[in-house]
Amino acid sequence: MEIALQNITKDYGSVRANDHVTMRVVPGSIHGLLGENGAGKSTLMKILSGYTPKTDGEIRIDRGIVEYESPAHAAGLGIGMLYQDPLDFPLLSVLENFKLGQSSSDMTALRIRLTDLCRRFGFTLDPDAPLASLTIGERQQLEILRLLEKGIRTLILDEPTTGISGTQKAALFSALKQLADEGRSVILVSHKLEDVEALCDRVTVLRGGKGAGEMDSPFDPDQLMTLMFGTRPKPPPRSAEAPGGPVLNFTSIHARGGRTGLKSCSVLIRENEVVGLAGLEGSGQGVFLRTAAGLIPPLSGEIHLKGQPMKRQNHHGFKRKGVNFLPSGRLEEGLIPGLTLAEHSALQNGGGFWVRWPGAIADAARRITNFRIKGEPNLSVESLSGGNQQRLLLSFLSENPTLLLLENPTRGLDVESANWVWEHLHRFCAKGAAIVFASSELDEILAQADRVMVFFNGAVIKDVRTQETDLRELGLAIAGRA
Amino acid sequence: MIRNLAEILLSLMGVLLFTTLILLIAGAPPFAAYIHIFKGSLGSLNKLSHVLNAWIPLTLCSCGLLYTFRIGLWNIGVEGQVMMGAVFATAALRLGMGGEAPLFYLVLAFAAGIIGGGLWALLAGFLKTRGGVNEIFAGLGLNFVAQGIILWLIFGPWKRPGIASMSGTELFPINLWLPQFPGLRMSPVGLFLAIGAIAVTAMILRYTRIGLQLKAVGGNERAAFLLGLNPARNMLLAMIFAGGFAGLAGTLQVSGIYHRLIPAISSNYGYLALLVVMLSNYDIRIAPLVAFFFACLNVGSIQLPMMLQIDSSLSGVIQGILVLAVLGVQAWRARIKIGTQGVKGSPGGANP
Amino acid sequence: MTEIDLTILFAGVVAGAAPIVMAALGETLTEKAGLINLSLDGSILLSAMAGFAAAYTTGSLVFGFMAGAMAGAMVAAVVGIFSIHLNRSQVAVGFVLTLMARDLAYFLGNPYARLHGPQVPSLPIPLLKEIPFFGPVFFNQSLPVYFSLLLIGFCWWYIYRTPAGLRLRAVGEHPKAAYARGIDPRRTQMLYTLAGGLLVGLAGATFSLSVKPGWGRPQGAEGTGWIALALVIFGGWDPIRAAAGAYLFAFLQVMGIYLQGWFPSVPAQVFQVAPFPLMIFTLLFMNLAQKERVVIWSEGRPWFRSMLKWLWGKAPTALGKPYAPE
């Protein structure tokens, strides 16, 4: 089965996720789709799998144009996808998950089919176990078998190697090779070079929603890196202050949360330091920030802030000590939808029984000018653009924080806004604050941080000064090769 | 503006059509029924005083519910909070049955009623914030418990000398009744308190930090916590406000209207107030008007069993259809918005 | 108490629980699909009225039950349309309908109040009814009671053993994933909202034609809808556990009558409200039993853990959350 995507475009409101992307998949090949987080890979594949309707462009299967509006329809044509957020049912059993969506309703026959397929690919799955008791790798295996049973001839996998063990990865790769040998096509979506190197015959690279180029195996890693990240100017030299006294001290912290939790983390962060946290989404950076903010109580280990133990303190206790936390979900956790800028101002300024509205409106107006927010004091926050929401949140940081914890501080912002945000943040640093931020953009970390910590599978596997490392080294560390 | 008017007219026509249909099914003449409801509520000064007697507790409960809705809580327990307010007020007034200083005991009754309602609401609040029991089930269960307590008191410790009956406890001596307008069975105190409650609620919700914090927690509990607010404490506060106003309504029912504790002391005003607030789109400026309309329906339909041999619960049917019609219009409006802007409508969560 | 007393007691429990079982199972079906139909208390009354009125007018019990089922399904349809298709709050719509359906029942049922209408006859099953104890308790009952008993097993079988039941659970669990597998989540939710409403309607008709025969204001079924809603939570969204809860509840109700005999000074009304604080305590205990600290403490204490497990229940993951298609 030959698949050709031509000039696929997808708009979410005013945001263009895919911009005239073209790509061709040859039968019996393993095709890689490579790109940074947010390059538009998942969107493109969700369009191919029928989950998301496209805005423009056409899909051809074996040279015929096809139109479909649901994943079930795409599966009928032989295209199936393993989504990044698994679309399966944790409370149901393995066999029930295998069955859902199949035309056959004969449980006994399906049980035999599942066992056969397991044997063929060397997987061991207990049909009666609840899905929730399986690892992510096993859930993937089950999904692959289910799609095969459904008769798919093209299999799309979205970041399948995230969160699975080395042995499971080997099993997965050998299964995928077996599928290609049988004449089926596999599309592997990844932002890890090593996956693509190990498996793919051909690779398409996306950057910023557009096709950046194609390559055949064997690949030149440096060239792929350039395609992925582009040739960007070196970051301007920044006059970093010398690190001062200790601010945050983690002593073998274990914490729950996210996909991996946080494992045995010991870190010291000093005054004036800007620390960037790198790693695949959900490798422990989020848990680190939230533990440091007092939002997740650690299971074991100790946290010291400026030398003081923070046992049994909640976020408000941390806040009183000058810790500021900026979540990445601006409308989910940061701002309150339905409230105006002035109301946010009034909440922020605290104190007193009465709210002095003229004062609050004046304060909001002042923030609007100082932080160059495009908005009005009486506008509700959800009507602001992402960049302006972020500026508003930045305006709520306290004047003299000791520690700033930021999740993706510039996600979704244009270059100018992002630069402005950083200019503003570095000013806190000059006053002696420490900044710890997570970012999916390595460029941003290299440009803004003095020090990088790379997270892999819940642990810090690399902790270096930014001057002593580069994009390639960090990219490898993110993939687990420290 | 014209479209709003058209929407209102359209939904009213829908309500009228449906009600007429219901009346025809029941074999009653629709036009006569409407006339009776109108005359029975606004036909004379005396009737109007009855309407106001219903409007006062409805408005008080609605004011209270605005606090809990503001923070996203479904305080179905408001009905029981009215009852417990009435129970506490009765207890205070019973102390004053001896005859000395009636004014003192009346004031005491009001304080006790507010405390009674507030405590009952606080109980539901704690069950929610500490026990993880959904406030709908906690409140509803407590309503039935409050009803049980009233019945137990009427048939047990507070039974009338001689024989206990469903007609309630012994009447209070007249000096423990609230003063009434001359010639009308209606107390200026209640009217004054209801108007005061509207003013206080409007002010607290608009101009104080409490109002702002309730709105913040209701809008996004998580963000409110990150901003330094304490969501659980604010929820309890909202419950106390709601319970306090409901308790006040209960006190007025005891001291101003029935002058004793009766089994149906709350007259369903709590449940009805939930509809009032929903219909007024959680707006303090509209709620008193809706409450007045609902009171007219309630009082006007009392005539129906006598005049047309149909049940007075017609008012409840009309009130229900009204709220459904308004929900329908809101959905329609949201759909138009999607059509013109290409934006997804906000999903209908439990929060207003 | 003597042997005969126990038999009568349990026969009364099985008969009295019949409508509660139907309502709790109906709501379990609806909630399994991810939708809450809060209108139960009003639905039961409306369908009780409709059932009695239809049976009285036509003289046919079959028409009575059909009318009851229709009334229940109609109220459920309104909940479904408003919350699935019009995107309104399930709680708001359900609550309005609770009150409105009740008032509509009182209003339309007025002419039928305190009339003597048809009543479901008891239908002992030959041979089986001769079994000591179990015979009179289970096999000397009426058709609705047999239906309620069979319904428990049927619901369990349907939900956990049929392809359709699997799709139902899939939608309540993860509507988006269900959609990706070719299931229409909205249609499924609507279907089970209607099916649940149908059962709730049968429950209402069972009240007015069998358990508390006749119609009046009050009818006597007031409050049962709320109990049924709580039983769904108590049952951990499992039909058998929900039904067990219904029998427990009916048992306590019957015990209330005995207690009244023992404590004549306490008014009857007090015993009638007793289930409600019990409902609160049950929900409270269930919540406590699932607290992380308690669960951790129970590890290594098998006896305690096995008791705890009875209080664990996982709501369908998508319960109460509106499904928005891409």
pLDDT tens, position by position, A167-196: 888 889 999 999 999 999 999 998 777 788
Q: Quick check: A139 pLDDT over 70?
A: yes
Mean per-residue pLDDT, A101-129: 91
Distance from C-alpha of B98 to C-alpha of B315, rounded to nearest angstrom:
41
Nearest by CB to residue C169, choosing from A88, A92, A101, is A92
**pLDDT band, residue B349 (cuts 50/70/90):** very low
pLDDT at B11 (0 to 100)? 84
Buried-state track C109-144, b at ≥16 Cβ within 10 A, e below 16 = bbebeeeebbebeeeeeeeebeeeeebbbbbbbbbb
Distance from C-alpha of A346 to C-alpha of C182, rounded to nearest angstrom:
49
Residues in chain B: 352
Share of chain C above pLDDT 90, in %: 61
Q: In the 8-state DSSP scheme, what is residue A359?
A: H
pLDDT at B183 (0 to 100)? 82
**pLDDT band, residue A345 (cuts 50/70/90):** very high
Per 3-state DSSP, chain C is made up of helix, strand and coil in percentages (nearest 5) of 75, 0, 25
In a domain, C296, yes or no: yes
In a domain, C133, yes or no: yes
Number of domains in chain B: 1
Range of the domain at B68: 54-326
pLDDT at C2 (0 to 100)? 40
Residue B225 with chain A: CB contacts under 8 Å: 315
What does pLDDT average to over chain A?
A: 88
pLDDT tens, position by position, C177-198: 999 998 999 999 999 999 999 9
In a domain, C316, yes or no: no
Mean per-residue pLDDT, B117-136: 94
In a domain, B29, yes or no: no
Q: How many interface pairs between A and B have CB atoms less than 8 angstroms apart?
A: 63
Tokens found for residue A342: 């002035």
CA distance to A66, A175, A223, per residue, from A198 (Å): 32, 13, 16
CB B62 within 8 A of CB B291: yes
Mean per-residue pLDDT, C41-68: 96
Q: Quick check: B340 pLDDT over 50?
A: no
What does pTM read for this prediction? Answer: 0.89
From edge to edge, which strands make up the β-sheet containing A308-309? A262-270, A246-255, A300-305, A308-309
In a domain, C169, yes or no: yes
Distance from C-alpha of A295 to C-alpha of A292, rounded to nearest angstrom:
8
In a domain, B132, yes or no: yes
Name the 3-class secondary structure at A250: strand
* Interchain contact, C90 vs B311, CB within 8 Å: no
pLDDT tens, position by position, A400-432: 899 999 998 887 676 677 788 888 898 888 888
Nearest to B65 by CA among B51, B82, B89, B83: B82
CA distance to B50, B255, B257, per residue, from B182 (Å): 14, 17, 15
What φ, ψ does residue C149 adopt, rounded to 5°?
-65, -45
What φ, ψ does residue A158 adopt, rounded to 5°?
-100, 110
Distance from C-alpha of A362 to C-alpha of A311, rounded to nearest angstrom:
39
Distance from C-alpha of C122 to C-alpha of C130, rounded to nearest angstrom:
15
Q: Which of A325-329, B138-142, B247-251, C31-35 has the lowest mean pLDDT?
A: A325-329
pLDDT at A290 (0 to 100)? 95
Distance from C-alpha of A387 to C-alpha of A394, rounded to nearest angstrom:
11
Number of domains in chain C: 1
CATH code, domain with B98: 1.10.3470
In a domain, B302, yes or no: yes
In a domain, C325, yes or no: no
Name the 3-class secondary structure at C320: coil
Nearest to A448 by CA among A279, A280, A274, A328: A274
Residue C177 with chain A: CB contacts under 8 Å: 87-89
**pLDDT band, residue B351 (cuts 50/70/90):** very low
Q: Between these two residues, B245 and A220, which has the higher pLDDT value? A: B245
pLDDT tens, position by position, C215-263: 988 888 888 999 999 999 888 899 999 999 999 989 888 887 777 778 7
What φ, ψ does residue A377 adopt, rounded to 5°?
-60, -30
In a domain, C206, yes or no: yes
CA angle (B228 as vertex; B222, B234 as ends), nearest 5: 75
Q: In the 8-state DSSP scheme, what is residue B180?
A: -
pLDDT at C1 (0 to 100)? 41
- Touching partners of A (3+ C-beta pairs < 8 Å): B, C
> Which ranges in A150-208 belong to alpha helices (H)?
166-181, 193-199
Nearest to A284 by CA among A431, A453, A432: A453
- Check if B213 contacts A (Cβ < 8 Å): yes
pLDDT at C118 (0 to 100)? 92
pLDDT at C196 (0 to 100)? 98
Q: Quick check: C265 pLDDT over 80?
A: no
Q: What is the CB-side half-sphere exposure of residue A182 using CA atoms within 13 A?
A: 16
In a domain, C315, yes or no: no
**SS3 for A33-72, per residue?**
EECCCCCCHHHHHHHHCCCCCCCEEEEEECCEEECCCCHH
Neighbours of C154 (CB within 10 A): 13
pLDDT at B342 (0 to 100)? 38
Q: In the 8-state DSSP scheme, what is residue A191?
A: S
Nearest by CB to residue B225, choosing from A315, A352, A357, is A315
Distance from C-alpha of A241 to C-alpha of A433, rounded to nearest angstrom:
11
Which amino acid is residue A306, in one-letter code?
A: K
Range of the domain at C304: 3-309
CATH code, domain with C8: 1.10.3470
In a domain, B164, yes or no: yes
Residue C245 with chain B: CB contacts under 8 Å: none
From edge to edge, which strands make up the β-sheet containing A202-207? A79-82, A154-158, A185-190, A30-34, A202-207, A210-216
In a domain, C319, yes or no: no
CA C87 to centroid of chain Cα atoms: 26
Tokens found for residue B17: 């059509």
In a domain, B156, yes or no: yes
In a domain, B48, yes or no: no
- Check if A90 contacts C (Cβ < 8 Å): yes
What φ, ψ does residue A155 adopt, rounded to 5°?
-110, 125
- Check if B126 contacts A (Cβ < 8 Å): no
- Check if C173 contacts A (Cβ < 8 Å): yes
